[in-house]
Amino acid sequence: MALDLAKLLEPISPDQPAGPNLEYDSAFAELERTAQGKPEQQIGNVVVPAEPPEWGAVFNQARTLLTRTKDLRVAVHLAQAAAHREGLPGLAEGLHFIRLLLEQHWDVVHPQLDPEDDNDPTMRVTALAALAAPPLLFSMRSAPLLSSRSLGPVSLRDLTGEGGSNAGLDTARIEAAFAETPMETLQAVLAGTRNAAEDIAKIEAVFDARAGVRGPELSGLLQLFRSARQALESRLEARTAIAAEMAAEAAVGADGPATTAAAAAPRRSGEILSREDVVRVLDQVIRYYERNEPSSPIPLLLERCKRLVPMSFPEILKELTPDGLKQLDLVAGKRENKS
């Protein structure tokens, strides 16, 4: 699925860039009904189970309606449908559309600002809050993110250990999914999580800049994409490191017996051989705490440690204890020049 954003963002007409308010139009009402699904019913003694929305129909209805009106409520339905059809990538694309809709059509997009209440944007905030509704967030954590041809799909819950199923099978499925997915696809999914986090920040910034108010509460949505980014980054780093080791070993073998012993020795997985490796490991520890123990102060301390890595001993001493540098000068026999 790929949205034609340029077409969806085109003004409806020169006189009405956002088109009319279709809140009471039959097509708008039909979209609302379709997006709700069918509730549980009891017919006589028979209970008919509830049915979820037909998300393909929701997507098509919303996309068609957006050619007649620029409405955040319709855009939210489009994003929700894209999410249920395509998982996190679909939700990310829907978020990007909403961001652009706000940035390009703030003054006219529906629902309109309330001119009798100092252009209050509450109706817009309420419409967008549905993007962080718990049922949607739960569905996204459980939706397939990657897939193994032999062992099946892998969700964000699997990557973060929330699945609660067979740990051995989960590990095998995750490893297989990452091994079978092309690197460019993995990088595209990772880039999508980063872009989505940026779009959420931009949505909040639009409300702050144009209305001087706090935007919709999307922290749960932001945490969803952060969790996905962190899980993907850690796995991608491991895959990249393994690929680099294999390439190095292949190069050593191609060099033949003339290769030096130091160069010929294969690098053990996880071995630290440079300052860059130190920073990489510190980043991994920081991401662990951000993901599993967000209230811990350890990431703050490790960030400071990262700043110390490239420094010389005097620079570290100055950073940690400025007075200690004077003591070092005395011990080393250095004196300030006297005029």
Reply yes or no on whether the pLDDT at 262 is more than 50. Answer: no
State phi, psi for 261 to the nearest 5 degrees. Answer: -60, -35
Closest CA to 235 of 175, 307, 150, 168: 175
**pLDDT of residue 130 exceeding 90:** yes
Q: What number is the average pLDDT over the span 144-149? A: 86
For the chain, domain boundaries: 5-39+50-113+123-236
Answer whether residue 266 shows pLDDT above 60.
no
Which of 3-7, 181-185, 262-266, 275-279 is predicted least confidently? 262-266
In angstroms, the CA 12 to CA 210 distance is 22
Integer Cα distance of 315 and 308 in angstroms: 8
SS (H, E, C) 198-253: HHHHHHHHHHHHHHCCCCCCCHHHHHHHHHHHHHHHHHHHHHHHHHHHHHHHHHHH
Burial 189-226 (b: 16+ CB within 10 A, else e): bbebbbbbbebbebbbebbeebbeeebbebeebbebbb
Of the listed ranges 91-95, 232-236, 283-287, 331-335, the one predicted with least confidence: 331-335
Q: How big is the chain by its Cα radius of gyration, in Å?
A: 27
Encode pLDDT of 75-85 as tens digits. 999 999 999 99
The pLDDT value recorded for residue 219 is 93
Q: Give me the residues paired with residue 335 across strands.
A: none
How far does the chain reach from its first CA to its final CA, in angstroms?
75
Beta bridge partners of 268: none
Which pLDDT belongs to residue 317? 66
The answer to whether 232 touches 187, Cβ cutoff 8 Å, is no
d(CA 330, CA 311): 21
pLDDT tens per residue across span 60-74 = 999 999 999 999 999
**Helix%, strand%, coil% for the chain, nearest 5:** 65, 5, 30
**What are the tens digits of pLDDT across the range 269-306?**
456 778 887 888 888 888 877 777 777 788 888 888 88
The first and second tokens of residue 201, run together, are: 């920040």
Average pLDDT, the chain: 83
H or E element: which one contains 41?
A: strand 41-43
Question: What does the alpha-carbon distance between residue 23 and residue 25 come to, in Å, rounded to a whole number?
Answer: 6
Task: Report pLDDT for 166.
Answer: 47
* Predicted pLDDT at 22: 97
- List Cβ neighbours of 214 (8 Å cut-off, separation of 6 or more): 204, 207, 208
Q: pLDDT: is 19 or 244 the higher one? A: 19
3 state SS for 122-163: HHHHHHHHHHHCHHHHHHHHHCEEEEECCCEEEEHHHHCCCC
- Joined tokens for residue 54: 């037909």
Residue 246 has pLDDT above 80, yes or no: no
Please, what's the largest Cα pairwise distance for the chain? 104
pTM of whole model > 0.75?
Answer: no
Tokens of 303: 């960030």
Residue 129 CA to residue 215 CA, distance in Å, equals: 9
